[in-house]
Amino acid sequence: MQITAVLGASYGDEGKGKVVHSLAKLDTFTHVIRFNGSGNAGHTIYHNGKKYATHLVPAGVFYGKPSIIGSGCVLNPNKLIEEIEVLEAAGVPVRPWLKIAYNAHIITDDHLKIDNQDVSIGTTKQGNGPAYADKYLRKGIRAEKIKELESFIVDLYDEFYIKNTTAHILAEGAQGYLLDIDSKNYPFVTSSHCGIGSLLNNGFRHQDLKEIICVIKGYDTYVGAKNFQSPSDHMLDRICEYGQEYGVTTGRRRQVNYLNISELNKSLKMLGCTQLIVNKMDILKDLDCWKVLMNNEVVDLHTEDRFKAKILEVAGCPVKFSYSPYDI
Ligand code: IMP
Ligand code: MG
């Protein structure tokens, strides 16, 4: 059994969905799993020329591969059923492939009510935080208790350590390292862990980890209540417009800043990155903007080559630069 993880090294919205979708078609991968977060996530996926937005359903369904919602996730059954129906109506069979860990937790109407009152964090209002809170208070409800989910329920130990012991799982992270609950950005974070430990806690052994692919964009974006974008720098607004930086789940405008090289250095190191994918290079190329942040100062690297060289230097591993929303 082997696992390849795809993790966000920034504030989410790095384009992990696209990366996972393009890897999931490879014969190498037999299963796809989501291991953290909930419907707060939004993945934009282009499949056979059509655009899809997924929130909870792992990208394996696009290729008829078993797709698992792991125990580290929390899920709203109504929203999940809605997502399944939308995908199936668009011609993507989901029900034959979807599996849910019996010990994933449920987002209830009460969780939604509480999250809808949030103003200070700027959550996605999907009930994510309150569901994790109840899980850790040990008064949560597990997926195995929900009648409508019965047919999807599995035990990941049985799936991968008894039945499919030669599986190669593609693990699809949600959010990113800088939104991890223990990040220094607390409280402006999500309520789950977004690193590799989070994946292992779904019931996997560290020996089974094969590769850790980290994903970023050529610039940073953040959506939430804190100030992130300098209001006087109009280039950042142009990046936002060219990059169409609006949330998949909430439609909110994302705040934009130049790629923070100092933070990237730390994220990649702590995620154990073995391969880096840099998305949305086309946006920077269109604007001919090659600025980064280093030690909180804007530094203009002037050329695409120098920009790429800086990222390669920090990554210390193979790096792919992507100039297209459709492939890596
Ligand atoms: P929550 O996860 O809905 O509680 O939101 C907490 C913070 O994480 C807010 O700043 C959200 O905008 C952010 N967040 C949650 N999910 C995503 C995501 O998939 N992409 C980007 N930001 C996210
Ligand atoms: Mg997203």
Active-site residues: which are they? 13, 43
* Pocket flag, ligand 1, residue 12 (CB < 6 Å): yes
| Ligand 1 atom index nearest CA of 224 | 10
DSSP annotation of 254:
P
What separation in Å is there between the alpha carbon of 204 and the centre of ligand 2?
25
Q: In this structure, how many other beta carbons lie within 10 angstroms of the beta carbon of residue 141?
A: 15
Rounded Cα distance between 173 and 20, Å, is 9
pLDDT at 40: 94
* Pocket flag, ligand 1, residue 54 (CB < 6 Å): no
Q: In this structure, how many other beta carbons lie within 10 angstroms of the beta carbon of residue 85?
A: 12
* Pocket flag, ligand 1, residue 121 (CB < 6 Å): yes
Rounded Cα distance between 58 and 126, Å, is 18
pLDDT at 41: 92
**If we measure between CA atoms, which residue out of 222, 212, 223, 221 comes closest to residue 277?**
212
pTM of the entire predicted model: 0.97
Rounded Cα distance between 229 and 132, Å, is 29
Report residues near ion ligand 2: CB below 5 Å: 13, 42
Rounded Cα distance between 66 and 146, Å, is 21
Rounded Cα distance between 19 and 6, Å, is 8
Task: List strands edge to edge, sheet with 219-222.
Answer: 219-222, 255-260, 291-294, 297-300
- Tens digit of pLDDT per residue, the chain (328 long)? 999 999 999 999 999 999 999 999 999 999 999 999 999 998 888 999 999 989 999 999 999 999 999 999 999 999 999 999 999 999 999 999 999 999 999 999 999 999 999 999 999 999 999 999 999 999 999 999 999 999 999 999 999 999 999 999 999 999 999 999 999 999 999 999 999 999 999 999 999 999 999 999 999 999 999 999 999 999 999 999 999 999 888 899 999 999 999 999 999 999 999 999 999 999 999 999 999 999 999 999 999 999 999 999 999 999 999 999 887 8
- Residue from 121, 124, 135, 216 to probe ligand 1 pocket by mutation (most atoms less than 8 Å from CB): 124
What separation in Å is there between the alpha carbon of 151 and the centre of ligand 2?
28
Rounded Cα distance between 49 and 52, Å, is 10
Cβ 104 vs Cβ 142: under 8 Å:
yes
* Pocket flag, ligand 1, residue 221 (CB < 6 Å): no
